[in-house]
Chain A
Amino acid sequence: MRRLPAGYLAALVVACVVGPAVLPLDPFGVDPAARLLGPSLGHPLGTDALGRDLLVRLLLGGRVSLWVAAVATFAAVGIGGAVGLVAGYFGGWLDAALMRVTELFLAVPKLPLLVLLAAVDPVRAGLPVGPLGLLIGIIAAFGWMSAARLARAAALPLRDADFVRAARGFGAGPLHVIRAHLLPHAAGPLLVAATLDLGEFIIYENVLSFLGLGVPAPDPSWGSLLAEAFVHLERAPVLVIAPGLLTFLTVAAFNRLGDHLRDALDVRGATASRTE
């Protein structure tokens, strides 16, 4: 039971990475003669409204969803880790200010803001990113807070520890102390934050793509697959059930894994998903 989440996630990643490459199915091949078909030998899960195979689009969509969540997590843990370590190391007014900002970001119900920002055209706004980059950017911009809190909690009790004072005595600057002495102690908490963030960000991607603001067509993602299937709910329920089920299971697995890691690494105060 304890290994189930990790096993499921490993199998999912392998299937999503390898599946679309080896399956003899075309995720983009439109076939008007094969629209909304039920499961068959040629199409194990049936086809969507344009006659594209659902199974291969699910796997490819998983690749996109997981990739978006993974890159956003990487960025969010980077931002949050930096904010938290700086706040914890320097303390005082800088800590207070950074934590106020963190609280503000936590308190804002995010979805309306994400909708507003996702409507920005990155090219016209002068940002050197595509739509996918913008999506990852806004997810990370509103998802770094748990990493910041955990990193700060790890750094705060160490700022006056003997080994930190020794390093300072040898002339080490703040940047060196944070990188070489505090970061290793924050690695466990940050790993927990990353695992829980992965689950949360998969939901963000799903919601934004479902609203038509995330991954642009024709690329599938679990969210955009749901959006496409929405109108065919009555005729082809499997189109709706499958991507949502994968999302649900994957998020649950990441949450569970994060909880296990938290207990194993004895990280206090980590919680899954405070999304609005």
Chain B
Amino acid sequence: MARGAQVLALWVALSAGLFGLVHVLPGSPEAQLLAAHPELSADDVARVRALEGLDLPITTRYRCWLLGRNPACPRWPSRAGVLDGELGWSRLYQRPVRELLQERLPNTLALMGPALGISVLLSVLLGLLAATRQRWDRAVAWVVAVGLAMPAHWLGLLVILVFAVGLGWLPSGGVRGFDGGGRGAYLVLPVAVLSVYYVGRYTRYLRAALKEELGKPYLDTARAKGLSEAQVLLRHALPNALIPLLTVVAQSLPVLFSGALVVERVFAYPGMGLLIFESVEERDHLVAVTVFLIYAALTFVAAGVADVGYWLLDPRVRRRS
């Protein structure tokens, strides 16, 4: 119970802090509205201010966003607050933030899910090859070095240049064709770019961990029992080597939500990354506050996931607690 109260207090403090920070970013919504539509009169701007609640003090706006229901609050489609299950109103899209998330999150999951999955599988394969085959070790080291040094946005531009502009095999960006079909084709390039990015990072951990495990005496015991080399590797060394990778992958979990900003930008892919970027750039305050809060929460959850994972995978941790 005390822990619940702590989390609640932390959440309120975090949301209030974020709310304040987002609202003091330079460039007022009014100025941006006027820049986009210079024909608006001062009266029009005043009406928009009243409608969007921009003339309210920031503390009131925070209360409205969180609690809603107050007649002083701006009337978006409803006066519902976060406590009623609404997440605020996107000024940029003129839609509820909840709707926006429901549209963007599946896009990002369709991008990040396969990318992370492919990366883990490939890095296990590469790690095993590097640890057991001398000849492959150098090649894998090169893959890791390239993956670590490659700026993802640049690689994105390069593959667009080759596969979209040059060969014309795949679309250069977007999420689906005008007829709404062919989603898979739109995912190939961004997923490939993200995979290169993550494979470098994951393989590096796995290769180091596998090499360390392979030098340990318990593997000799396993061999002495008469296990084949493959069994020694897959049943004994690999599970232990996967444990450090778990932290790294768990750290990537918030990215399932926040998406891959630069890659989404290069491929004009309407996922969460672009939404976060636009919300900051266009001062779409309530979107920014909401996505950053969810993302902070997920970061904590991911740390917890890693801990639980350790507990499940590593008997030594279990015994200690």
Contact = CB atoms under 8 A, between A and B. Distances in A.
Contact of A112 (B146, B160, B204, B261): B261
Contacts of B261: 111-112, 115, 211
Contacts of B150: 248
A interface majority secondary structure: helix
B157 A255 contact: no
A174 B266 CA distance: 51
Contact of A116 (B254, B262, B280): B280
A116 B292 CA distance: 9
A109 B257 CA distance: 11
Nearest to A271: B204
Interface in A201-225: 203, 206-207, 210-211
Given A116-B288, A252-B146, A124 B157 contact: no
Contacts of A249: 149
B20 to A, nearest CB: 12
B303 A116 contact: no
Nearest to A247: B151
Contact of B302 (A107, A116, A199): A107
Chain B CB within 10 A, most for which of A112, A230, A276 = A112
B interface majority secondary structure: helix
Contacts of B160: 233
Interface string B244-276: 000010011011001001100110000001001
Nearest to A249: B149
B16 to A, nearest CB: 16
B157 A240 contact: yes
B149 A199 contact: yes
B25 interface: yes
Interface residues of A, number: 40
B145 interface: yes
Interface of B: 21-22, 24-26, 145-146, 148-151, 153-154, 157-158, 160-161, 165, 201, 204, 248, 251-252, 254-255, 258, 261-262, 265-266, 273, 276-277, 280-281, 288, 291-292, 295, 299, 302-303
Contacts of A125: 24
A108 interface: yes
Contacts of B281: 119
A198 to B, nearest CB: 12
A102 to B, nearest CB: 13
Contact of A108 (B145, B265, B299): B299
A237 B280 CA distance: 30
A207 B151 contact: yes
A54 to B, nearest CB: 16
Contact of A273 (B25, B148, B288): B148
B277 A247 contact: no
Contacts of A274: 201, 248
Contacts of B161: 233, 237, 240-241
Contacts of A252: 145-146, 148-149
Contacts of A207: 151, 153, 262
Contacts of B157: 226, 230, 233, 240, 244
Contacts of B276: 112, 115
20 contacts: A109-B251, A109-B299, A111-B258, A111-B261, A111-B262, A112-B273, A115-B277, A116-B288, A120-B26, A121-B26, A203-B151, A206-B154, A226-B157, A230-B266, A240-B158, A247-B154, A248-B150, A248-B154, A273-B201, A274-B248
A82 interface: no
A256 B255 contact: no
Interface in A259-276: 271-274, 276
Contact of B149 (A108, A111, A251): A251
B283 to A, nearest CB: 9
B149 A107 contact: no
B151 A115 contact: no
A92 B6 CA distance: 24
Q: List the 4 shortest-distance A-B pairs measured between CB atoms, nearest first.
A: A244-B154, A121-B26, A252-B149, A251-B149
A107 B304 CA distance: 11
B48 to A, nearest CB: 22
B303 A107 contact: yes
Given A111-B262, A119-B280, A199-B149, A241 B158 contact: yes
Given A230-B157, A276-B252, 8 more contacts: A109-B255, A111-B258, A112-B291, A211-B265, A233-B165, A244-B151, A244-B158, A256-B145
Contacts of A251: 148-149, 151
Contacts of B204: 271
A226 B153 contact: yes
Contacts of A247: 151, 154
A107 B165 contact: no
A72 to B, nearest CB: 17
Nearest to A202: B151
A233 B165 CA distance: 9
Contacts of B258: 109, 111-112
B136 to A, nearest CB: 19
Contacts of B291: 112
